[in-house]
Amino acid sequence: MRLMHPETRYAQSGDVNIAYQVVGNGPLDLVFVPGFVSHLDLQWADPRIARFFEKLASFSRLILFDKRGTGLSDPVAGPAPLEDRMDDVRAVMDAAGSEHAALFGLSEGGPMSILFAATYPERTRALILCGTFPTGTTDPRDNPGGQRWVDAFQRARAAAEHWGEGRTLEIFAPSADNERDRAGRGIFERSAASPKMAQTVLDMLTETDVRDLLPSVRVPTLVLHRAEEFVPVECARYMAENIPGARLTVLPGPDHIPFYGDADGYAEEIEEFLTGARHAPPSDRILTTVMFSDIVASTERAAALGDARWRELVGRHDELTRAELERHRGREVKTMGDGFLATFDGPARAIRCARTIADNVDALDIELRAGLHTGECELVGDDIGGLAVNIGARIGALAGADEVLVSSTVKDLVVGSGISFSDRGPHKLKGVPGEWHLFAVDQVEAQPSTQRVPDTREQHLSFTDT
């Protein structure tokens, strides 16, 4: 169930107003200490972030806030020392009526959370450190992350030099690094912090060091990290080894920001740590075949034809595509300018549909390419997401003109269907772990047309990239 946008209130910390929100009414308080930058209002506009917070609020009373100088909190001349920012956490807890809370320290919010837990153990129920680090020093000989940390930090600094363009997404959430999400990330960056503040926060990280405090943390602690993310996993191991009784859990994936990738798995680890149990597996996941299609060289064709003729041509392409989706029991999820995202309840039908569309658009003097993958997709309200969607999009981007390219998963599922393939070999898909073996559709045997059969699993789908 989608929560309503929470009310934003302000806590007084010294002479600075700290914006905060309270979501849910669970039996325990959970304070989310954000990372690099945040924006309380804008984050709810992203369904992935909203879903993650709703998951946390399903078992807790979740307290969110923007650090001073960022988001909706008061602007400041520069980042404050850890001690002042720790006081901001205390001020927010007081204003929210929270005497005893678990702290969720993400990334740059981790060291502040460590300091709070060591200083106020009587107010700290538990400590969760996610994708964070004990020191930001860029001396590889004196950092648990070694040269990997130095290289990662330099990449972050380079991205921050283009603040407002969304380039941090490539580093912090590579599985979501696409044109649409990068534009959205750019808006978020510009709203969450000024370019100078972003650069200053990064500079301050190099002086952050809480290693000496780790043995003083005496509350239950979970160190949660993704294996291939921006912050080297050695930083997580160091903290787990030096905080008494800490538990280390390393999850697969390349995303530093927990809202992306397997966000539900991330939240379930936190839920189990704090409550001793997980919710039952969500029912809003389906196994489906996704198809991405688009017109080849569309920008060049649009420039050559002019706006009016191009719109007419795209309209005819859309009509043709929708007719074939109907005939092959496909479900249109979203049009994307010159292409479609659609889902199918059978991979063979998806291939036949894609191949037919590609053949039929020849009459329009255009060429089509398509990518297909079968996997578990997540339904988030009216949206669809998940790794399978990302894989399908990446495969579609690799397809050539008049080519239908599929994953080995799709190929293996259509054995005996009369569809033949050419091997295109293994490929690295941007933001997707491992290598993926791809195949091009060669020949499709004729198949009797099918009538549309309603699929209740797909009644409310639209698309948001993940």
| Average pLDDT for 338-356 | 92
pLDDT of residue 305 exceeding 80: yes
pLDDT of residue 448 exceeding 60: no
Fold type of domain 9-275: Rossmann fold (3.40.50)
If one compares 298 and 453, the residue with the highest pLDDT of the two is 298
pLDDT of residue 286: 76
- Give the residue among 245, 27, 217 at the shortest CA–CA distance from 105: 217
pLDDT of residue 223 exceeding 80: yes
**In 120-232, which ranges are continuous DSSP H helix?**
146-160, 168-172, 179-192, 195-205
What is the per-residue pLDDT across 140-158, written as a single tens digit (0 to 9) for each?
999 999 999 999 999 999 9
**SS3 label, residue 433:** coil
| Average pLDDT for 182-208 | 89
pLDDT of residue 122: 92
**SS3 label, residue 65:** strand
Name the band, by pLDDT with cuts 50, 70 and 90, for residue 2.
Answer: very low
Phi/psi at 57 (5° precision): -75, -10
* CATH for the stretch 285-458: 3.30.70.1230
Name the band, by pLDDT with cuts 50, 70 and 90, for residue 417.
Answer: confident
Task: Give every CB contact of residue 308 below 8 A, 6+ residues apart in sequence.
Answer: none
pLDDT of residue 399 exceeding 60: yes
The greatest distance separating any two alpha carbons of the chain, rounded to the nearest whole angstrom, comes to 74
Q: Which two tokens stand for residue 85?
A: 């920012």
What is the per-residue pLDDT across 127-142, written as a single tens digit (0 to 9) for each?
999 999 999 999 999 9
388 vs 386: CA distance, rounded Å: 6
What is the per-residue pLDDT across 43-97, written as a single tens digit (0 to 9) for each?
998 888 999 999 999 999 999 999 999 999 999 887 677 778 888 999 999 999 9
Q: Which of 41-50, 199-208, 312-321, 453-462 has the lowest mean pLDDT?
A: 453-462
Beta strands in 217-360 (DSSP E): 221-226, 247-251, 285-295, 330-335, 339-344
Q: Which two tokens stand for residue 229?
A: 């993310």
**pTM of this structure:** 0.62
If one compares 144 and 444, the residue with the highest pLDDT of the two is 144
| Average pLDDT for 408-427 | 90
Mean pLDDT of all residues in the chain? 88
Q: What does the domain layout of the chain look like in residue ranges?
A: 9-275, 285-458
Give buried/exposed letters for 28-49 (b at 16+ CB in 10 A, else e).
Answer: bbbbbbbbbbbbbebbbebbbb
| Average pLDDT for 179-200 | 90
CA distances from 188 to 115, 169, 173 (A): 28, 11, 14
Sign of CA dihedral 410, 228, 181, 106: positive
pLDDT of residue 281 exceeding 60: no
pLDDT of residue 101: 97
pLDDT of residue 458 exceeding 70: no
236 vs 110: CA distance, rounded Å: 11
The angle at the Cα of 334, spanning 329 to 340, to the nearest 5 degrees, equals 70
